[in-house]
Structure 1
């Protein structure tokens, strides 16, 4: 298995992702992918990442049902008429609903990664489950771990999350990986701080911003490793539980008979 890490979403090259069946894993530890994994774990029907609030409003108008929630931020500031995309705040609201999500970095990274053959959503919460899926289904593929970053800058927490995912791959497989230098850098960052997720996230630029805004519960949640067995995959622009995706595929097969 080849593993490469992109340090920011701006490094995404759609044509190169499309080549040879590459598998993308998108991380935005603070906070979009943590929010998505938490929402799906709390029973959200789906999470639909969008580029901006205009796309979110347009999509909400086109839905044939009203059972949805708009959540988003721009440069860490709330968007008017949107819920703030805090996983702890959204947790009691998402059961059975579609979550339309717009963020400065993570949702844009997910949209830009769509040219890969498979796109998974991961976080510290579910990296172990994601790693198991990669080992079970994509042993012969090139895995591209995409750190969303922050407005073109590298985010410490995303690189740490990428290192944690690589550590999970190594721990589960007990085999070596063909890692790029960027992947090795992420792995060694994690290896030097395996039990310091909370401290590291709080010390990051985005983490300090969260602390200034009083988002301590979200920081604590985002730093919690392997507590959720959710496997999330992008399908037709929507984040779904892999189990739900599989069942929908089976339904389509039955309809085609």
Structure 2
């Protein structure tokens, strides 16, 4: 598995062709991945990731108004007219049960849209880390961990999560022939593993979000393996693959 594993540090660090015939795990800890995982855990029928407000509007016009919710943010702030922001804690109530969430975010949903040549797109976060690791151990394709980043730049928390996934996949012993980006992510996790929440709260993006995003949101996103959800994109909709297996 580790021999066929790679990491991209942001949604702009790869060409779309780089992902052809590979399985992608999209990681956006703060907060798109965490929100998708949480919404599905609490009963959402599915999540449709969109690249911008125009796409969201077109999709919503083709759905029954009672069947969906609009969620999203621009630079961390709720989009006018939407039901929710990109807060996972807003996606826990009865109002999302059996609803399709149309999700529009600055980084995470755009990373998914750029990964269209992948054989499959899986959504990963700290919240469902063990579920992601268990699934990756069962597949044969080459796997790429795509960190969403922030506007094309590396985000500490996404690379840290990628490193945690790698650490678990190789049982804490990284092969010498691992690719450079894999080594970097693994090393980052080794350094900060003892204080995931504290190190993420001091990251550039978390500091940038202060005053916009609640402290509870960030703490929640730092919890490891809290939810057993396996979000996989199929025909434009992300749903919990584990539900289909039951």
**TM-score, length-normalised on structure 1?**
0.89
How far off is 1:245 after superposition? 4.7
How far off is 1:90 after superposition? 2.1
Matched with 2:200 is 201
Matching of residue 67 in structure 1 with residue 79 in structure 2: no
Distance 2:164 2:176 in 1: 14
Matched with 2:43 is 43
Structure 1 ranges of 4+ moved more than 6 A: none
Q: Output one character per residue of 1:51-85: Cα deviation in whole Å (capped at 9) or x when no partner.
A: 01121111111014522110111122221011211
Moved more, 190-199 or 33-42: 190-199
What is the SS of the residue equivalent to 2:121? strand
Matched with 1:105 is 107
Matched with 1:161 is 161
Matched with 1:125 is 127
Aligned residue pairs total 242
Distance 2:198 2:174 in 1: 30
The alpha-carbon distance between structure 1 residues 150 and 15, as it changes in their structure 2 partners (threshold 3 A), is: same
Distance 2:41 2:145 in 1: 22
Distance 2:127 2:73 in 1: 21
Matched with 2:76 is 76
**TM-score, length-normalised on structure 2?**
0.93
Question: What is the Cα-based RMSD across aligned positions, in Å?
Answer: 1.8
Segments of structure 2 that go 5 or more residues without pairing to the other structure are: none
Matched with 1:91 is 92
Higher helix content, 1 or 2: 1
Distance 2:178 2:99 in 1: 39
How far off is 1:177 after superposition? 8.4
What is the SS of the residue equivalent to 2:193? coil
- Kindly indicate whether the alpha-carbon contact (under 8 Å) linking 2:36 and 2:47 is maintained by their aligned counterparts in 1: yes
What is the SS of the residue equivalent to 2:201? helix
Q: Output one character per residue of 1:225-251: Cα deviation in whole Å (capped at 9) or x when no partner.
A: 11111111111111111134558xxxx
Q: Write the mapping of 1:1-257 to structure 2, written as runs, cut at 5 A.
A: 1=1, 2-18=4-20, 21-64=21-64, 66-82=66-82, 83-92=84-93, 93-138=95-140, 141-171=141-171, 176=175, 179-245=178-244
